[in-house]
Amino acid sequence: QGCTQKYIVKNYFYYYLFKFSAALGEEIFYITFLPFTYWNIDHSVSRRMIIVWSIVMYIGQVSKDILKWPRPLSPPVVKLEMRTNAEYGMPSTHAMAATAISFSFFIATMNLYKYPFELGLAAAFVFSTLVCLSRLYTGMHTVLDVIGGALISAVLLVLLYPVWDTIDHLLLTSPFCPLFSIVVPLVLCYNYPKLDYYSPTRGDTTTILGAAAGASVGFWLNNQYAASAYKSVQPGFPLITSTMVFVLARFFVGILVVLLTRWLMKSVVLGVLGYRYKFPIRDLEARRRLEVEVPYKFVTYSSVGFTATVIVPRLHELLGLL
């Protein structure tokens, strides 16, 4: 499973298009796009996307390890990825995440900004379709896995939409929000379905729930203390040069702080856990143990979520970027 298959690329356009599209369903996209939305688009849009994303991804990851449907056999398919090969296939969480994020973004913004309904719908459809097709191209999922993931995500969106405002209100005003946001995800992570072998699904789920937990605490804290809000960027073509500079400055300052937070917290938490359980930090097998993986990833990524929603905005305010 750790060996990369040999293959010859005959169409570089499709190869790079779908490799890029596959990355839109991975951590590098989540850790950049979701904070970008909070810093530059609208707080309410970001909150709704994170709520939907975390719920959809948790259900998708758990479903994989309950159903235990295998990934496509190789041969005949050629697998262009190896990390997720240890996971089961049904449903495709890439398809679920792409559908959830693109359509929740579309639904949350269509009444906030003036743009053609058809254009927004087409953009959401193209985004999710590209990610879905990338899972077929890279050999990681069957057609049924992808269709199943997209349909499950669509159903969850339909079910969640009527209670969006209620959840958002509780997220901002309930005195129990911080406790609920931390305890419930931790319980879910520690009681994740057990497999006969190691799979990255539990770690990935902990990462997602941790980031959502930290962000939720940050949302609540900002609302309680009436933190200054960002001046949202209105979409338009062409964007004014000064506005673009403002947007890019917010993003690069913010993402630098977020990445530094992730590196620092990962090092500190692994160091503490390594001392507690007597293992070297570079020991990958030890880091996969339940008592290590869950606290290490949850603390690291909840710190990332909190930093993106509380620390970075304060830094932006100090730098005059708010």
Residue carrying the six token digits 């900004």: 113
Q: Using an 8 Å Cβ cutoff, are 39 and 254 in contact?
A: yes
Select from 240, 214, 235, 190 the least CA-distant residue to 311. Answer: 214
User: Cα(121)–Cα(119) distance, rounded to whole angstroms?
Assistant: 5
* Marked catalytic residue, from 43, 141, 169, 316: 141
Q: CB-based burial of residue 116 (10 Å sphere; 0-12 exposed, 13-18 middle, 19+ buried)?
A: exposed
Virtual torsion, Cα 69, 190, 271, 196, nearest 10 deg: -40
User: Is 94 one of the annotated active-site residues of the chain?
Assistant: yes
Task: Verify whether residue 43 is a known catalytic residue.
Answer: no
- Tell me how crowded residue 316 is: count the other CB atoms within 10 A of its CB: 19
Catalytic residue among 43, 94, 169, 316: 94
Q: Tokens in use for 87? A: 């996971």
* DSSP code of residue 194: P
For residue 302, CA distances in Å to 45, 227, 230, 283, 294 come to 20, 20, 22, 23, 12
Q: Give the whole-angstrom CA distance, residue 222 versus residue 218.
A: 6
Instruction: Tokens for 220, please give them.
Output: 């609540």
Are 207 and 301 a contacting pair, CB within 8 Å?
yes
Catalytic residues: 94, 141
